[in-house]
Amino acid sequence: MMDTVVSPLFDPKLEGRIYSVFGLISIVFILFILFLVFLTVRIDGIVTWTWAVVWIPAWILNIILFILMIGYIRGYQSEGETTNHSKYFLLYNQYLLTIRKSQHIINYMLILLFQIFIVIRLDNHTQWTACIIFIPYFLLQGIHFIMLLLTSANRIIEFAAECEKEKVPKYIYDTYSFPILMLIQCILIPLRIDGLIRSSWGIIFIPLYLLWLKWAGEIVYACYTVHKEEQREIHALNVKIFFILAGIMYAIGTVLTFVLVGFIARRLDGATYIKMSNIFIPLFIVFSFLLCCSGCCVPCMLMLSTMDMNDPEMQTLVNPNRRITEAGESIQ
């Protein structure tokens, strides 16, 4: 990679790190697929494993996430320590680093605790209601909202100082629409499980439909904004192509998501004839495609893009005059 056109963009150790990242991503996708397989065979009654065993791929993912989180926190902290600023700025920066580090650790512990609550409830080690099981998630969302409020308050003050108050409504919408919809969704789910709501699961999942409509509106709005741009036509054309591709990917994702959510809603409403192996087909398709990309296609394309085709060894490798005989020998 170092003797190619893109060599100025890389240091000698970066190539190995890139391939290591792709390897780690592939392992994560494999664990996701295994977790879906374990869920499928357990819910369909093919095996009678305990849910703690079914959750083994998720436990491994939690360990990987913990290692990555510790590495990120240590690297972020060391970066803050090496910065040269005034004494007060360093103290303030250290205070922010402490808050962010604590937030990452608390978020991880709450996510892990939420999974543990689910497993012990499914294994009938306790008779907790769904509202109790979802307490870690509600605490996680509460912390997230507090951090959003602190961040958005400073941003709104900046808009007011710069006389850009017209940007405040859009900023509030972009910042709070997703977490509010997800919070509503995760409030409706335990209420429906505990029988406090008698509606169909198709109605319970309405916030998910609204979330996809929100993303569709954002794509349409972005395309409209690009269409109004009359200057820098080449740049606008490239952006239009990007949004067209994004729209196609979004349409495919929408079909798969609505099929998945629809099947899950039907299964939860009592249609036990629908097998989980059929319900999880969209997820198997998506994660298999991502695994193929991260484990094979993208690394191979990256490797080919960095090869020097003028190298005599490469020309020998792709010599069109070579052929293989019946004896298996390569001759010219």
pLDDT at 84 over 50: no
Mean predicted lDDT score pLDDT of the chain:
78
For the residues 117-127, what does the mean pLDDT come to? 92
80 — pLDDT class (breaks 50, 70, 90): very low
**H-run or E-run covering 91:** helix 87-122
98-107, 152-161, 186-195, 279-288, range with the lowest pLDDT: 152-161
**Structure confidence at residue 91 (pLDDT):** 65
pLDDT at 172 over 70: yes
**Structure confidence at residue 79 (pLDDT):** 43
For the residues 136-142, what does the mean pLDDT come to? 91
**Structure confidence at residue 316 (pLDDT):** 53
CA-based torsion, 129, 131, 134, 140: positive or negative: negative
**Structure confidence at residue 176 (pLDDT):** 86
For the residues 144-161, what does the mean pLDDT come to? 77
Amino acid letter for position 144: H
310 — pLDDT class (breaks 50, 70, 90): low
For the residues 221-240, what does the mean pLDDT come to? 61
In the structure encoding, which two tokens stand for residue 261, read together? 């959510």
5 — pLDDT class (breaks 50, 70, 90): very low
Q: Which of 117, 118, 107, 98 shows the shortest CA–CA distance to 65?
A: 107
Q: Are 42 and 56 in contact (CB under 8 A)?
A: no
Q: Are 205 and 182 in contact (CB under 8 A)?
A: no
Burial readout 297-318 (b: 16 or more C-beta within 10 A, e: otherwise): eebeeeeeebeeeeeeeeeeee
For the residues 77-100, what does the mean pLDDT come to? 57
For the residues 318-326, what does the mean pLDDT come to? 56
Count CB neighbours of 117 within 10 A: 19
**Structure confidence at residue 294 (pLDDT):** 82
**Structure confidence at residue 133 (pLDDT):** 94
pLDDT at 88 over 60: no
Count CB neighbours of 74 within 10 A: 11
237 — pLDDT class (breaks 50, 70, 90): low
**Structure confidence at residue 85 (pLDDT):** 47
**Structure confidence at residue 58 (pLDDT):** 94
Q: Is 61 helix (H, G, I), strand (E, B) or coil?
A: helix
Q: How far is CA 171 from CA 21, 39, 168, 332, in A?
A: 33, 39, 5, 66
For the residues 39-47, what does the mean pLDDT come to? 90
Count CB neighbours of 39 within 10 A: 19
Question: Considering the entire predicted model, what is its pTM?
Answer: 0.76
**Structure confidence at residue 87 (pLDDT):** 58
DSSP classification of residue 294: I
Percent residues over pLDDT 70 in the chain: 73
* Pairwise pLDDT comparison (226 vs 309), residue with the higher score: 226
The alpha helices in 123-167, defined as continuous H runs, are: 130-133, 135-161
Q: Are 118 and 133 in contact (CB under 8 A)?
A: yes
**Structure confidence at residue 189 (pLDDT):** 92
277 — pLDDT class (breaks 50, 70, 90): confident
Amino acid letter for position 10: F
128 — pLDDT class (breaks 50, 70, 90): very high
Pairwise CA distance, residues 259 & 238, whole Å: 32
Q: Which of 247, 284, 240, 245 shows the shortest CA–CA distance to 263?
A: 284
pLDDT tens digits for 60-75? Answer: 999 999 998 888 777 7
For the residues 6-18, what does the mean pLDDT come to? 59
How far does CA 329 lie from the centroid of its chain?
A: 48
28-32, 41-45, 255-259, range with the lowest pLDDT: 255-259
Q: Are 111 and 140 in contact (CB under 8 A)?
A: yes
Pairwise CA distance, residues 35 & 58, whole Å: 7
Output helix, strand, coil percentages for the chain, rounded to the nearest 5. Answer: 75, 0, 20
List all residues 6 or more positions away from 109 whose beta carbon is below 8 Å from its beta carbon: none
In the structure encoding, which two tokens stand for residue 282, read together? 């969209």
For the residues 114-139, what does the mean pLDDT come to? 93
76-90, 131-145, 215-229, 230-244, range with the lowest pLDDT: 76-90
